[in-house]
Structure 1
């Protein structure tokens, strides 16, 4: 019985996904952990929103420009496109900060219009459309068209150089 109690206590302290991937006997405790997820301190969505608001505050208080890098790829098995958008900026303490601000599914076909729409949506949601300094893209052939469309959609006052 003491071994069972110690095991039960250690399982209650483990994250939900750890419990799901342990041996079969541990599955008895999954329902207890599922209830714990509903508690505010374990609410991943709340944690995400807090982290997002901190990044938004840092980007809004930043008087300088931000650089953006994007990476797009297609999953091997499902042939679905995904894009990661990372922002790079210098904070108030003169430290370079890098944050992934968007990881999204990009619907097919992956045309310059579709990718441009996804990027503009990201820029507008994060209020960085007027703070862009540079945009670095991967070697996808459609990205040349994306750059031209973005230049047309962004306000000319946001551009450093034409």
Structure 2
């Protein structure tokens, strides 16, 4: 038996206060109607919302369709209008589900180091809308100025409470530059009462003034005071830069320890420079690496001559281990590199066999 359309229409409509008006739940249009007659409402749904109409009304029929596995399955999977309308209705701003999803988006941004602007990317917004049409992503301003700030305050309070339980704190700090801006990062290392070793980055602060020992010390002190660890610091580890050493020793009056990795790097670099034969090989290999990094043709030919498609790598001045990695990669590709240089009339750049194989010892 067909369903009565007079009653079914109220899955689409909502009665007004006076009882003589109705509002479409899909498009929010207002209509007048006479009690007992809903033909105009039905016409609106049939013409304006045909897909929903066909999915929720049956045409009158004198015979009843026999119940089969197919018809039962179709009835179970066919969405009702109430569900179709509800699944497109946005979560209220203050609802628990909206807050939960906002926090998950914030967690993705912070855990995966994504830019805050990811919530404005068209592809990401389409993905979220497809997965949950009821959820509206927070905009960039809300995510950065509200949600992220609130979460930062929560995490900072928890970390402060943890640092309060530590009796001693060791600090490591280093500076870096991006274009014309300098930044200093402070990391605390401490042991909990449960004998669990912990490390936490406390701050990365932009240095707006000159990088003098006095200014560095002032920035460090502000960070120490902010986190309540000024009277717990047993040592401050930095590189061997004169301004960093002076900031700790002369201004903070704290115990300074030089970074072991930085000190070892200085020792190794100095030793390499004192050996003329080694320095000659390094100079030639670096020149070859620079050439391959600037020549598309050379790189393509080098790839064509290999099966594993490896590339030459350059070293980094502040990491002596990168020099070893550069030489190891060159030795592994020595034959191929030499062949490419000869083909491109760059034979004068080649490293002789005896020099290359000397590094295998």
Q: Same fold, TM exceeding 0.5?
A: yes
Q: Tell me if 1:72 matches 2:175.
A: yes
CA distance in structure 2 between the aligned counterparts of 1:91 and 1:21, rounded to whole angstroms: 42
Q: Which residue matches 1:92?
A: 193
More helix by share: 2
Contact 1:72–1:138 (CA under 8 A) maintained in structure 2:
no
Residues 1-162 of structure 1 correspond to what in structure 2 (within 5 A)? 15=105, 17-23=117-123, 26=126, 32-34=136-138, 38=142, 43-62=147-166, 64-75=167-178, 78-147=179-248, 148-151=250-253
Give deviations 1:6-34, integer Å, cap 9, x for gaps: 9x9xxx7773644433539739x7xx423
Give the deviation of 1:61 after TM superposition. 2.0
Q: How many residues align?
A: 141
Contact 2:174–2:184 (CA under 8 A) maintained in structure 1:
yes
Structure 2 residue runs of 5 or longer lacking an equivalent are 1-50, 52-86, 91-100, 106-115, 130-135, 256-361
CA distance in structure 1 between the aligned counterparts of 2:243 and 2:214, rounded to whole angstroms: 9
- Residue 102 of structure 1 aligns to a residue in which SS? strand
- Residue 202 of structure 2 aligns to a residue in which SS? strand
Contact 1:107–1:114 (CA under 8 A) maintained in structure 2:
no
Give the deviation of 1:65 after TM superposition. 0.4
- Residue 225 of structure 2 aligns to a residue in which SS? helix
Over aligned residue pairs, what C-alpha RMSD do you find?
3.5
Give the deviation of 1:97 after TM superposition. 0.4
What TM-score, normalized by structure 2, do the two folds share? 0.34
- Residue 242 of structure 2 aligns to a residue in which SS? coil
Q: Which has the larger radius of gyration?
A: 2
**Cα distance change, pair 122–24 in 1 and its aligned pair in 2 (3 A):** closer
Q: Mean Cα displacement is larger for which, 42-51 or 110-119? A: 42-51
Contact 1:37–1:43 (CA under 8 A) maintained in structure 2:
no
